[in-house]
Amino acid sequence: MSSVPAIGPRRGRPGRPRLVHPQLNGSPREQILEAAARLFTSKGYAATSTREIAEAVGIRQASLYYHFAGKGEIVTELLAQTIRPTVDSVARMESLTDDPDTVLYLVALTDVRTLAKAPHNIGWLYLAPDVAQVEGFDEFTEARSDLAATYARLAEPIATSEVLGALGPVRLGEKLVHNVEEVIGLRNAGRRIDLDESASIASSCLRLCGIDQARIDLAQKTAATLLGQLDQVDGSAGGDARCG
């Protein structure tokens, strides 16, 4: 699996970051990402300029370029943020249990939460025609394919022969990614992605594999126990995902 691009501050660029609006939270870099996500998802990518993003943060345009090469790098990083947490969680989920149904359920649940927590529903951006032309978009497409390949690897041993016969593992993996991306549309429609909704989307990933209801119920129950344990460790995994 190739890694999801992690874009750091630009080195060797002229200028220094200016003071930012004191009422905003986070580093200048985080504030730029937050403002860009808001503008891209409200006005569209093409209609948003780096100048507007800088103004929204309260820095000069030149200062924005200290952190990012341009709009393309900002949107690429925002897109990477919709995939990276899920990819990073897979090994951990696999270490928690030997039950493959539960692993797939937990990974799907993490994926739902990643999309549910993304600022301003940035998962939406990858669906925009103008964003698809951005230099670096190929890296996101590749990262998303890697995520689909992970789903395929987890689903292949547990899917029914009928489902695998009709789809093959690769297409099944893609279908599971698409299934989780329902979160994006729900958020656009103003829906809250609560625990029940998250669970139902994760369950439907198992259902698409042809897994019967008894096994889905068992995976859901096992996953709930494991999430409870995780909550005690890091206090975040069990949190309620909300609309942005």
Q: For its own copies, which is the closer residue by CB, 3 or 188?
A: 188
Q: Residue 28 to residues 19, 125, 153: CA-CA distances in angstroms?
A: 8, 22, 39
- Applying CB under 8 A, among 5, 85, 210, 244 the residue interacting with its own copies is 210
- Applying CB under 8 A, among 9, 26, 185, 239 the residue interacting with its own copies is 185
Q: Residue 213 interacts with its own copies (CB under 8 A)?
A: yes
**What would the DSSP string read from start to end of 137-148?**
HHHHHHHHHHHH
Q: For its own copies, which is the closer residue by CB, 58 or 136?
A: 136
Cβ at position 152, least distance to its own copies in Å: 15
Q: Residue 162 interacts with its own copies (CB under 8 A)?
A: yes
Identify whether the C-beta of residue 62 lies closer than 8 Å to the C-beta of residue 70: no
Distance CA(13)–CA(25), nearest Å, equals 24
Q: Residue 110 interacts with its own copies (CB under 8 A)?
A: no
Q: Tokens representing 226?
A: 């494991």
Q: Residue 1 interacts with its own copies (CB under 8 A)?
A: no
Q: Residue 140 interacts with its own copies (CB under 8 A)?
A: no
Q: How many CB atoms lie within 10 A of CB 90?
A: 20
> Rounded to the nearest 5°, which phi and psi values hold at 175?
-65, -35
Q: How many CB atoms lie within 10 A of CB 167?
A: 19
Residue with tokens 């507007």: 52
- Applying CB under 8 A, among 199, 218, 227, 243 the residue interacting with its own copies is 199
Distance CA(90)–CA(187), nearest Å, equals 24
- Applying CB under 8 A, among 26, 70, 166, 229 the residue interacting with its own copies is 166
Identify whether the C-beta of residue 220 lies closer than 8 Å to the C-beta of residue 199: yes
44: left (phi > 0), else alpha (psi -120 to 50), else beta? left
Cβ at position 160, least distance to its own copies in Å: 7
Cβ at position 140, least distance to its own copies in Å: 13
Binding flags for its own copies, 115-134, as an x/- string (CB under 8 A)? ---------xx-xxxx-xx-
| Binding to its own copies in span 8-47, by CB under 8 A | 40-47
Q: Which residues bind its own copies (CB under 8 A)?
A: 40-47, 124-125, 127-130, 132-133, 160, 162-163, 166-167, 171, 174-175, 178-179, 182, 185-186, 188, 196, 199-200, 203-204, 207-208, 210, 212-213, 216-217
